[in-house]
Amino acid sequence: MLKLGKNSKIIIFILFIVYSIIIITPFLNIVINSFKTLGEIFLAPFSLPSQLRWENYKETWNKANLGMAYLNSFLVSIFSVLGILIISSMFAFILSRYTFPLRKVLYLYVIAGLAFPARLAIIPIFIMLRDLKLLNSRIGLILLYMGTGVPFSVFLLKNFLDDIPKELEESAQIDGASPWMIFTNIALPLIRPALVVVAIVNFVSIWNDFFFPLILISDRSKETIPLAVSVFYGEFSNQWHLLSTALWLAVVPVMVIYAFMSREFISGMTQGAFK
């Protein structure tokens, strides 16, 4: 284990404080500006508001139709993540535990998805969803996000599954456990930290995505949060006070989810770092 001297610890501590200030300052500025008028933001962007204007939140909620946007984002994000977890965990288990022809070729084919961003294929994706009549639909977005999230998830989960001793499965097989029982009762509980990492990484990515909803969604009743927030961007002017409010409301769910799952997330990340 690496041992650090007192001076090194002090330097690292100072660097972490500076880094935290750099990260937190813009975020706090957005929260403060959400309570200001547009004039106050231009005149004193880094000062405290003269009074807390809660009406900004009501106006933002109504103008951006955030209630429906929240519902759409939650539906798309949750069902996409569930689909990714189910498909990638089963796929990774098969690749890790079974030997069959072209197994390595299949694994490389899946991992190739990490090298080619899905945005490069937006035209074929658009045509395919149009032909399947899934344009301007939540189902189309869910299927798209599931397809783009599987490569990274399979890659991560397979590495964790490879480290599970096969003796555990052999003992379970002697006791009469089926492959499905081994997968659900042994493999999944042991890779729980990795599943949390996969869930959080994909949830944040899907929740924050602006590109695919912009291209594939045309009905405002099906807009996700990033698309709804864009209503405050204008060609000639921006409503910065309402935009700050909308951005703050958009990140709250992600912060809450991470706060409840941070321990498992850190555990999964650190275990992966020392493999």
Bridge partners (DSSP) of residue 233 are 238
Phi, psi at 238, each rounded to 5°:
-120, 140
Angstrom distance (rounded) from CA 144 to CA 148: 6
pLDDT in tens, 44-69: 888 888 888 888 889 889 888 889 99
Angstrom distance (rounded) from CA 159 to CA 194: 10
Query: Please, what's the b/e burial string for 53-67 (b: 16 or more CB within 10 A of its CB; e: otherwise)?
Result: beebbeebbeebebe
Which residue ranges make up each domain of the chain? Answer: 56-273
Q: Are the C-beta atoms of 159 and 271 separated by less than 8 Å?
A: no
- Return the sign of the alpha-carbon dihedral for residues 110, 112, 114, 118: negative
pLDDT in tens, 158-199: 988 888 888 888 888 888 888 888 888 888 888 888 898 899
Angle between helices 138-162 and 122-131 (to 10 degrees): 120
pLDDT in tens, 94-135: 998 888 888 889 888 888 888 888 888 899 999 999 999 999
Q: Are the C-beta atoms of 40 and 56 separated by less than 8 Å?
A: no
Q: What is the CA radius of gyration of the chain?
A: 23
pLDDT in tens, 223-262: 999 999 888 876 545 788 888 888 888 888 888 887 777 6
> How big is the chain, counted in residues?
275
Angstrom distance (rounded) from CA 196 to CA 261: 8
Topology of the domain comprising 56-273: MetI-like fold (1.10.3720)
Q: Which residue has the tokens 């941070």?
A: 262
